[in-house]
């Protein structure tokens, strides 16, 4: 039974890493599920503290994944119009997977800034800020999933 759980855990980790890029898969939660599967084997026992800290990291990163593009818009000089547009674009992008998750925040911030009376250059700057925020969130998710893969390998070694 341990072998089946380990193989399923590996599939979850690989799927989790893929989910960092493919929005149809929940990356970090899937990778965490792989860690839980390994924990349920007789081979490895993680501490309760480890499992809870990892769960908290997954929850925080999943929540921040939706807000980081907003912060990118704000810190690239975007106004409230751009931030609100980014939020609307993010929500609208959920209906146009997978490209909507990338284009939605960008277009939302861009259109929001234009509606707020900003010039095209400033609107593009806000849009690119949201895009950079999205890319930063993706990198952070990949790092967490990579860390889970590393811990999985070290635990089995």
The confidence band for 5, taking pLDDT boundaries of 50, 70 and 90, is: very high
pLDDT at residue 133 greater than cutoff 90: no
Q: How many CB atoms lie within 10 A of CB 50?
A: 13
pLDDT at position 95: 84
Number of compact structural domains in the chain: 1
Looking at residue 43, what DSSP letter applies?
S
Q: How many CB atoms lie within 10 A of CB 137?
A: 21
- 34 CA to centre of own chain: 17
Mean pLDDT score, 23-47: 90
pLDDT at position 92: 87
Q: Is 109 exposed, middle or buried (0-12, 13-18, 19+ CB in 10 A)?
A: buried
pLDDT at position 57: 96
d(CA 97, CA 92): 10
d(CA 104, CA 23): 13
Q: Which range marks the domain in which residue 8 is found?
A: 2-156
Taking only the tens place, the pLDDT of each residue in 64-107 is: 887 887 777 777 777 778 878 888 887 888 788 778 877 888 88
Locate all alpha helices (DSSP H) within 1-157, ordered by sequence: 2-19, 27-39, 48-75, 80-93, 99-115, 120-156
Query: Which helix or strand (DSSP H or E) is residue 21 part of?
Result: none
Mean pLDDT score, 28-41: 94
Return the axis-axis angle of helices 48-75 and 80-93, rounded to nearest 10°: 130
């Amino acid at each position: 039974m341990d072998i089946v759980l380990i193989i399923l855990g590996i599939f979850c980790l690989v799927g989790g890493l893929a989910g960092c890029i493919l929005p149809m898969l929940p990356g970090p939660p899937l990778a965490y599920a792989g860690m839980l599967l390994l924990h349920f084997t007789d081979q490895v026992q993680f501490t309760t503290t480890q499992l809870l800290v990892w769960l908290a990291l997954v929850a925080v990163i999943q929540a921040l994944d939706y807000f980081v593009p907003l912060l990118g818009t704000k810190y690239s000089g975007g106004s409230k119009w751009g931030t609100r547009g980014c939020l609307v674009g993010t929500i609208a992008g959920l209906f146009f997977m997978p490209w909507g998750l990338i284009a939605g925040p960008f277009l939302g911030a861009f259109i929001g800034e234009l509606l707020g009376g900003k010039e095209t250059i400033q609107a593009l700057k806000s849009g690119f800020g949201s895009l950079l925020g999205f890319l930063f969130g993706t990198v952070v998710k990949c790092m967490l999933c990579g860390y889970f893969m590393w811990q999985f390998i070290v635990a089995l070694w």
